[in-house]
Amino acid sequence: MSDQRHVISRKDYKEPDFFVEKVELVFDLEREVTNVKSRLFIHANPARGTGVDDEVFLHGEDMKLVSVSINERRLASGDFTVDQEGLRFTAPREAFIAEIETQISPANNTRLEGLYVSQSAFCTQCEAEGFRRITYFPDRPDVMATFKVTINADKSSCPVLLSNGNLIDSGDLDGGRHFAVWEDPFPKPSYLFALVAGDLACVEDSFKTVSGRDVALRIFVEHGNEDRCDYAMDSLKRSMKWDEDVYGLEYDLDLFNIVAVSDFNMGAMENKSLNVFNAKYILAKPDTATDMDFELIESIVAHEYFHNWSGNRVTCRDWFQLSLKEGLTVFRDQEFSADQRSRPVQRIKDVAQLRARQFPEDGGPLAHPVRPDSYMEINNFYTATVYEKGAELIRMMHTLLGPDGYRKGIDLYFDRHDGQAVTCDDFAKAMEDANDIDFTQLKLWYSQAGTPKLWWEGDYDADAKQYRITLTQKTDPTPGQSDKKPLHMPVSIGLLGADGNDIAAKTVELTEATQEFVFDGVTEKPVVSFNRGFSAPVNVMTDQPDAELVFLMGNDSDAFNRWEAGQKYATRLILSAISNFEENDGNADAALNDVAVAVDAFIGAMQATLLNDGLDKAFRADALVLPGEEFISEQRKPANPDAIHQVRNALRKRIGVALMDDFENTYHQNASNAAFTPDALSAGQRALRATALGYLVASGEARFADLASDQYKASDNMTDQMAALSVLNHLDHPGRADALADFENRFAKDGVVLDKWFALQAMSSRDDTLARVKDLMGHPAFTMRNPNKVRSLIGAFAVGNPRHFHAKDGSGYEFYTDRLIELDDINPQVAARLCAPLGKWAKYDDDRADMMKAALQRILAKEDISRDLYEIASKSAA
């Protein structure tokens, strides 16, 4: 247990005592026992103090050590020690070569860290600390080496042999085996090492870089999936071009490989020139992938490609600096998507995601700064805070510096630090130096956890034609951080006149706890559009009257704030109806009747949005969606999942009934006979039509459920089929069972697609859902060893089905807790990630909170609990 509790602190960082300049690896690949020989060219860090002991420490876990030699002399067993953490021996005086032989078992690696088998292929995952499960090595990102990798494997089962860099040799060996030698000229940390070997199909294309070099682009997939790579390939080429155009960054090798694997803990991994992807984020064709899948593929392919500079050429000094590469790269992929699609729609999506995932994290037991101060298990820090809040921090720098100043800072950063492992402070320093600006206060966003609250108060002086606005900020305490300082943040504010046009607009820089800003030349009392574009990633606390929100929904020149006004209005309406619901003994209709005037005004504003042809369809689709149940539950304490579910549905029904004709017209006008294309415009049209269908079904009129059922049968693309299925999913309509059966038949052998089918059923609000989920655990395609399956069935139940997960009788918690305990022995990283929903007990009533806490205690009592799960469960229980 003491091992589990070991805390690593940022302030304890020490430079490595030894560096590795070059690594030569030889893999003899076998599923049961793979032999790994490593030659390490090691020298002492010249900056190391003299007189310190000259012990060399190499990380290593769960391996069999066969032998260690130093400068070709084999060490006797008394000359080194091995424990659970690694290998220690005494270093010679001069630079030396260590040769280490280990044995590992890819077929038995269910954690999917290090070298493992996915379907029939061998693949690796080394970030963050997987390399130490392959061989003994200083497995930390500030040790950067060039890698030369020899792979020996059976030729018929592994015709494809890949690693990082360039292929420099290959050929046949005895016994039906063959080999390939790869050399990566760019020094890199061990977490960027990758190896793939298997019988894979290859789709090939090429890209000419700005300086005229031809780069071969290859995507490797399981046989039969060759026709599902087009969109990923196209996204890759557009990413390469965009990085040249917008950041002046060119690709640096002649080869770029992507491999799609079925078993993967995360989304994808940016290994140098050999990106490995969760197959879900590569494979797509119109009849297997939805518009949302296409969008995700585009952004994740871009994200991993962009890491070649922001992550690989310049990497992290230590894992506390993770946001150095992740926050920056998320910001880069968000901007790429904004340029490829609709900028406001992209921003809406990114903010909705931030508020749904990061704000709750920042307000709960797992709150931590963008640059954490400590961790037990680094795997647990690939979080929405490090990624998405980290991206907001970079976005604020972009806003404050403007595009040119930002680019100057970026240029200096890459110039100064190319080939180095650096810190978030180094990044901020480059931004400061290039722009002669002081970011001392802005950098508090790296170190201070919690979502700031922001209030505003306006005062119009007609005589002086002045509008004065006073901003007040406050950040609540978070675990381990009781005193919060005022932050530096850009706040974009617009003032609208009665005609709906802007009278004035500017971005102010808030630095004090309370601060006043003045707008001059304001000729009439304005309506305020506050925090446009979500320029500051905060919770705006100030309420605006219903009428102002309706006005903003119809007029704001900032599309984000048009959407935001609608969300605010809907949230307020739902929250007050929930209070009525609780007083009215659970009658959702009566609850809405009590706020009938506001409901009518809201529906009028929704109608205006629906019918406004000047707005793009993707935007209208987003603007018509009510805030989700999870989001609403964050706004209220205690959250009442039944009330939220019923009131939100009752409001959807009212909207559906009131605007039935408009939705019906929208539905039919947006039908398309053209062949499916995944572009943003067509996707927007499909999204608007799906929204209309959703409201029509919500109206309760039976003919619309038939319509959904017909749509499922008639459409030739997954987007329209899923739109139909996801509304049928909650009904008792016979079309539901038919569609689910058809889906299961068509995709029985298609893991990535069948995951949608598992997730749908897990998210159904029908009463039989939990029983069905339990049954599905026994489905032939389900396995606890595949993270996508676990996330689709079990994860989706907890995150996408608040009503059943939080069932009053505790059945949801009980089922879920059993699964986490079971999963911890298979894949601790995934188990730990899935544990977070149980940590939200403080948001619920006492009965539920007690059951959730008891569930956490049950997890903590598990024998041999992993460090991953222990950290999340213990922090969540506190």
Residues 127, 293, 388, 558: which binds ligand PHE (CB under 6 A)? 127
Binding of ligand PHE by 303 (CB under 6 A): yes
Distances (CA, A) of 24 to 69, 148, 149, 501, 789: 14, 5, 6, 66, 37
- Choose from Zn ion, ligand PHE, none: what does 564 bind? Cβ within 5-8 Å by kind: none
Give least dist CB 816 to ligand PHE, A: 24
Distances (CA, A) of 99 to 28, 38, 131, 534: 16, 6, 16, 54
Nearer to ligand PHE, 423 or 633 (CB): 423
Phi, psi of 142 (to 5 degrees): -85, 5
Strand order in the sheet with 268-269: 201-208, 214-221, 255-261, 274-278, 268-269
Nearer to ligand PHE, 266 or 698 (CB): 266
Which residue stretch of 264-272, 290-298, 393-401, 774-782 sits at the interface with ligand PHE (rule: CB under 6 A)? 264-272
- Scanning residues 759 to 788, which ones bind ligand PHE (CB under 6 A)? none
- Choose from Zn ion, ligand PHE, none: what does 697 bind? Cβ within 5-8 Å by kind: none
Which residue stretch of 263-271, 365-373, 427-435, 562-570 sits at the interface with ligand PHE (rule: CB under 6 A)? 263-271
Nearer to Zn ion, 269 or 680 (CB): 269
- Choose from ligand PHE, Zn ion, none: what does 268 bind? Cβ within 5-8 Å by kind: ligand PHE
Nearer to Zn ion, 329 or 544 (CB): 329
Helix (H, G, I), strand (E, B) or coil at 149: strand
Residue 314's beta-bridge partner residues?
310
Give least dist CB 388 to ligand PHE, A: 12
* CA separation for the pair 330, 388 (Å, rounded): 7
Distances (CA, A) of 479 to 5, 364, 451: 17, 8, 13
Give least dist CB 329 to ligand PHE, A: 7
* CA separation for the pair 567, 562 (Å, rounded): 9
Phi, psi of 553 (to 5 degrees): -60, -35
Residue 704 token pair: 């619309």
- Scanning residues 305 to 344, which ones bind Zn ion (CB under 5 A)? 326, 329
Nearer to ligand PHE, 266 or 527 (CB): 266
Nearer to ligand PHE, 59 or 303 (CB): 303
- Choose from Zn ion, ligand PHE, none: what does 127 bind? Cβ within 5-8 Å by kind: ligand PHE
Residue 58's beta-bridge partner residues?
87
Give least dist CB 587 to ligand PHE, A: 47
**Contact, 211 vs 235, CB < 8 A?**
no
Residues 34, 105, 109, 125: which binds ligand PHE (CB under 6 A)? 125
* CA separation for the pair 5, 7 (Å, rounded): 6
Binding of ligand PHE by 259 (CB under 6 A): no
Cis peptide before 128 (omega within 30 of 0): yes
Residue type, 790: V
Binding of ligand PHE by 261 (CB under 6 A): no
Residues 268, 577, 592, 851: which binds ligand PHE (CB under 6 A)? 268
Give least dist CB 329 to Zn ion, A: 5
The CB-nearest residue to ligand PHE is 266
Nearer to ligand PHE, 319 or 813 (CB): 319
Question: Which contiguous run of DSSP H or E holds residue 695?
Answer: helix 680-698
Q: Which of 129, 304, 377, 392 is catalytic?
A: 304
Give least dist CB 326 to Zn ion, A: 5
Binding of ligand PHE by 382 (CB under 6 A): yes
* CA separation for the pair 470, 834 (Å, rounded): 42
Could you tell me whether strands 214-221 and 255-261 are parallel, antiparallel, or unpaired per DSSP bridges? parallel
* CA separation for the pair 397, 428 (Å, rounded): 9
Give least dist CB 391 to Zn ion, A: 10
- Choose from ligand PHE, Zn ion, none: what does 257 bind? Cβ within 5-8 Å by kind: none
CA angle 146, 322, 182 (to 5 degrees): 20
- Choose from Zn ion, ligand PHE, none: what does 740 bind? Cβ within 5-8 Å by kind: none
Binding mask 829-848 toward ligand PHE (x if CB under 6 A, else -) reads: --------------------
- Choose from Zn ion, ligand PHE, none: what does 763 bind? Cβ within 5-8 Å by kind: none
Give least dist CB 368 to Zn ion, A: 18
Nearer to ligand PHE, 304 or 755 (CB): 304
Residues 123, 221, 259, 269: which binds ligand PHE (CB under 6 A)? 269
Phi, psi of 499 (to 5 degrees): -80, 0
Question: Which contiguous run of DSSP H or E holds residue 469?
Answer: strand 466-474
Which residue stretch of 122-130, 170-178, 585-593, 644-652 sits at the interface with ligand PHE (rule: CB under 6 A)? 122-130
- Choose from ligand PHE, Zn ion, none: what does 388 bind? Cβ within 5-8 Å by kind: none
Nearer to ligand PHE, 147 or 381 (CB): 381
Helix (H, G, I), strand (E, B) or coil at 342: coil
Q: How many residues lie near Zn ion (CB under 5 A)?
A: 2
Q: How many CB atoms lie within 10 A of CB 462?
A: 11
**Contact, 762 vs 796, CB < 8 A?**
yes
Residues 17, 139, 270, 556: which binds ligand PHE (CB under 6 A)? 270
Nearest to 692 by CA among 801, 609, 587: 609
Binding mask 154-173 toward ligand PHE (x if CB under 6 A, else -) reads: --------------------
Respond yes or no: is residue 304 known to be catalytic.
yes
Distances (CA, A) of 797 to 96, 148, 292, 618: 54, 45, 20, 28
Give least dist CB 512 to Zn ion, A: 35
- Choose from ligand PHE, Zn ion, none: what does 392 bind? Cβ within 5-8 Å by kind: none
Nearer to Zn ion, 326 or 871 (CB): 326
For the chain, give percent helix, strand, coil, nearest 5: 45, 20, 30
Residue spans of alpha helices (H) in 436-497: 444-447
Binding of ligand PHE by 326 (CB under 6 A): yes
Residues 6+ apart with CB under 8 A from 458: 467, 468, 469, 470, 528
Residues in contact with Zn ion by CB under 5 A are 326, 329
Query: What positions carry a catalytic annotation?
Result: 304
Residues in contact with ligand PHE by CB under 6 A are 125, 127-128, 265-266, 268-270, 303-304, 326, 382
